[in-house]
Homo-oligomer: A and B are copies of this chain.
Amino acid sequence: MSSHQKISYQGEPGAFSEQAAKAYFGNTCDVVARETFNEIFEDVERRRSAFAIVPIENSLHGSVHQNFDLLWKHRVHIVGEVKLRIKMNLLALPGVRIKDLRAVYSHPQALGQCDKFLRSLKNVSVNPFYDTAGAAKMIAVERRRDAAAIASLQAAADYGLKVLRPGIESDHRNFTRFLVIGKKQVRPKRNAKTSLIFTTKNIPGALFKCLSVFALRNINLLKIESRPIVGAPWEYLFYLDIEGDAREKECINALNHLQELTAYFKNLGSYESGKIVTPH
């Protein structure tokens, strides 16, 4: 990718999304920080940025459901994937000790990933914040000596905080899978996967029949996720990741077959399965 293309991410500088962008596009890539996920999807849709980097799933805490909804709403494609090793750290102002703490701030996903550690703290309130790096910034700017943030080492460096306790995630096999979204579809060279959205027709065994189009062709199912349909209580949109490129013969047949069974269908794109990267 050329270095002058802008890459949008959600959060403050020091956010895990920024690390994922640099891991995927290289350290000198031109990143744009935005406040909300909706804005980074709009950046790509309106061509203000070439790409955006979107956290979609954490291996401890689960899916980032809001971003499944945004993939459905926006006219963008998935063009790549990266799996970032996540290390969560308790950060505070220099001199502050664990026993001084009355509050911990971080993004709800990060709080969820550090659940075990947080339950070991006594008389400390756990407070959701819009962003991990944003929580670190707030502690630094407001000179809070009674509070800590959970964020990356990069955020500690960026905002002059000390690491009170490193690696506080509940399990160290902690990865966040990010999607790279762009305006145009790409052609993956190797290890292709394809993401789809669909709703089933109102027929008996509908979901089973939809999955059969892949099973009958030995196409591996990598992930299934369901999201509620607004205005239709207890009906669902399904998100599917399958192995393979939607331009291959077997895959074309499966997706044609699938569309005989679905009321709504959207191909989010084929892309190369992401490698695991560890930030420095």
Q: B-contacting residues of A (Cβ < 8 Å)?
A: 57-62, 65-66, 108, 112, 128, 170-171, 173, 175, 177, 204-205, 207-209, 211-212, 214-215, 218, 220-228, 230-234, 236
Contacts and interface: CB of A to CB of B under 8 A. Distances in A.
24 contacts: A57-B228, A58-B228, A59-B228, A59-B234, A62-B228, A108-B128, A173-B231, A173-B232, A175-B233, A177-B234, A204-B218, A204-B220, A205-B215, A205-B220, A205-B221, A207-B211, A208-B212, A208-B214, A208-B221, A211-B211, A222-B234, A223-B234, A223-B236, A225-B226
A170 B236 CA distance: 17
Contacts of A224: 207, 224, 226
What are the nearest 6 A-B pairs in CB distance?
A59-B233, A208-B215, A128-B128, A205-B215, A208-B211, A171-B230
Given A65-B62, A128-B108, A211-B211, A170 B227 contact: no
- Residue of A112, A227, A231 contacting most chain B CB atoms (<10 Å): A231
A95 to B, nearest CB: 29
Nearest to A119: B38
Contacts of A230: 59-60, 170-171, 173
Given A170-B230, A171-B231, A205-B218, 20 more contacts: A57-B228, A59-B234, A60-B228, A61-B228, A62-B227, A66-B112, A108-B108, A128-B128, A173-B231, A175-B233, A204-B218, A205-B220, A205-B221, A208-B211, A211-B211, A223-B234, A223-B236, A224-B224, A224-B226, A225-B226
Chain A interface, >50% SS class: mixed
A228 B108 CA distance: 16
Contacts of A205: 214-215, 218, 220-221
A146 to B, nearest CB: 18
Contacts of A223: 226, 234, 236
A224 B237 CA distance: 11
A207 B236 CA distance: 18
A177 B233 CA distance: 10
